[in-house]
Structure 1
């Protein structure tokens, strides 16, 4: 089922080959609009806004490893929001013309920085009418990651520590944990304290001026969940988690830029038994999975005003390369959005 016939060609950002994002390797190209018949579980979406993530440039930067797992030329971007143009025969809850948000397969050649995308229904959800495309366009990866690292592991009244509360995943994490009735402690820099407060954080540890691990140890074994969005920084965070996590608590490692010192600290904590210096809690590295139900839950909270996207900056479609330059600076508060189309 379709609304109207899309144009025969479209614009799409492409990475020509594995390697860094440079002016010669990341280009805006004109390509044929997807025209193959949709599979039963697929949607053709005209993209209005796309969110960007560090994985967009880190994966192609892996060189031969990237070439082995990803088809090139590759369009970067995972997150998107737009309007369904056509839906497969097995898609019953989204109709042509509906506003949708979603997340593309990070290993697929087709990413969200194109005027049209073919997306799987499992990675999509309908957007409630009062949520705009820029707010919805950055949800896919960061909000889904926050939801999946928090919602299954907590109940109302639990205490949660989020290491890195001001980035894309952290800003959603604070709000999702609060929506679930948790008491939330976060770490952030001095400049981001007011942002974290505005999102509902109950306690904030300024890592610029305080000993994060020391502050957590002072609380005792009270946390049901630790979500590490930074990458074991401070380097003893995971090893020390036995001193502030409940015995049945979880340590979820989302990631970040991990240094050699951090890896050196992690390895013995992960693999040695407790009496030899290892941590007693399991180190749970996390991989985000597309989920229609989870995205729908986040979208519903957004409609209720309980969760919002924190937008650091917004760029036009022709400025996607500049959006990645901003992302690589590593200081964004919240998400960076690319406006693919002004009207869809």
Structure 2
């Protein structure tokens, strides 16, 4: 089937006997065009199937109303909520969103950055992939004064907006919770340590142990490359097969934590009385697994909204991209049955 010809402003001008400039102004609701003419032009444009060429407009203005998002994996609940926050705030401001995912691959992230740059986006929101250590591919945006907001997984040495949580405090509080529940040997699933989120959560874990005079056992700390379900399963088998296995586990995400609960069940290890578990993110699966997973809340949607606000503010004020600003949001421990050792002990004593 032959492709139908695209209707242009010049086609509308010929049809309506107006100049192309008048058509353009009317389609953009310009005040210089009467309401009667504007309604007539917009009505005919709709009937003929006219579509505004946003790419052409961005080429003329060297600026678009499109915000780019670069994330690692779109199928993670935290990322899905983050994107929802970005899209909702962008839509209210009359902006569009382009989403790209790297699947945690550095080369994919470089290619995605180029594609978004070539799309003439007005701002970029980035959560770094697991493999990313060099951030040189973001320099092209800075050079063109396109604002970048890094969120959650952020680089240490890059002047930009950053929207984060206090990962150190969250890691400390999660570990302290397990200590308060009576755990004596606490394991940790740590992610890639060059990424701030996992590095700081691990530091919080270690400091909580030290402050309560726990011996640091490196065999209880397992770095997971992708924090996947499969990696969590393998790591849990390794921990539970130890001669002196842990009685508590703090996982840096919920996916690996849920995997630990299910793997413990396969091994005949009872959660929480033999292994108390706490995760991170408060993914939907945390409240579905049995026992329900204790976790750390992660205000993903709010973070997405703030990222968009920073880009819109930057564009409206025409600020310099060489800026360093950190927005840090609070988290909280959500206690569920997977870590309630004390409650269980109280019930047993009563019986």
Normalising by structure 1, we get a TM-score of 0.34
The structure that is helix-richer by fraction is: 2
Q: Which has the higher Rg, Structure 1 or Structure 2?
A: 2
Higher percent of residues as strand: 1
- TM-score norm. by structure 2 comes to 0.33
